[in-house]
Structure 1
């Protein structure tokens, strides 16, 4: 039987704790978004990603880029986009200058729903982090998340 490398075991434990925190937070946010706005976390994330490039002449995203941004397979992304497109929250189109693929952009209705849902998301995130901070095992990760500065 192969011996376990202690460094790998510690790494696996850290990953397990990180996964636990992520799962708890995502579940809490999911419940709040579904209850208040009829949105899943993935739907919210997709609207968020697309909103960041809304109105910019170069700001459309190919479906492949959307899949990478929301961390889904291309087929799952297509289903997600189709669902939101059916609700009038985004649209797909062929770019006039680049016919290589289908692009996606958020609609005004999608931006309005995102604006209403963002406070719910942020409150659920804060509450989930506060709850996680009560678990001594999760405290270092909660602090890391709170201190994380993402470049604009």
Structure 2
């Protein structure tokens, strides 16, 4: 008899963690090989590329940290690294001189545009591989159902 009240819950969490780790590692290898870009760097550029000039359209550093699921200090280091590579630029918030905003440069947009197909192909490959494993197949299928429907032109 199991001592856990719900061993299935822990098993589900372990499967989800395994799926995440496998997908992230596969995407990391693909992005590094083709674009010298990490998954975290890609994610940060992707989030920042969605900013706009409207109300609430720019992320402050703590919001960016939440969006990419990193600590604020790790996010700051990542922004600095990408800024040093010329992919981002920081500037003072026009409404609150204490705030600092970060924008993707043209070089950053170009790299992100080039890396997006690599990222998406690696994600599809990792999900297909996960679907072959019985313990991961339902989770991989769930990820696919979360994707918005493809637009037809």
TM-score normalised per structure 1? 0.91
SS in 2 for 1:61: coil
Question: Which of 45, 52, 56 does residue 53 from structure 2 map onto?
Answer: 56
CA RMSD of aligned residues (A): 1.4
C-alpha displacement of 1:102: 1.6
Which residue does 1:144 correspond to in 2? 142
CA distance in 1, matches of 2:59, 2:137: 37
2:151 corresponding residue in structure 1: none
In the comparison of the two structures, how many residue pairs are matched? 146
Shift of 1:97: 1.1
CA separation of 1:82/1:21 partners in 2, compared to 1, >3 Å: closer, same or farther? same
**TM-score of the superposed pair, with normalisation by structure 2:** 0.90
- Give the CA deviation at 1:132: 0.8
Distance in 2 (alpha carbons) for counterparts of 1:46 and 1:61: 11
Deviations 1:62-116 (A, max 9, x none): 1111100100001100110000000010111111112232211111111110000
Q: Identify the residue that residue 14 of structure 1 maps to in structure 2.
A: 12
User: Which structure 1 residue ranges, 4+ long, deviate > 6 Å from structure 2?
Assistant: none
Task: Kindly provide the CA deviation profile for residues 5-61 of structure 1, in whole angstroms up to 9, marking residues without a partner as x.
Answer: 332x221110000000000000000000000000000000000000011x4344221
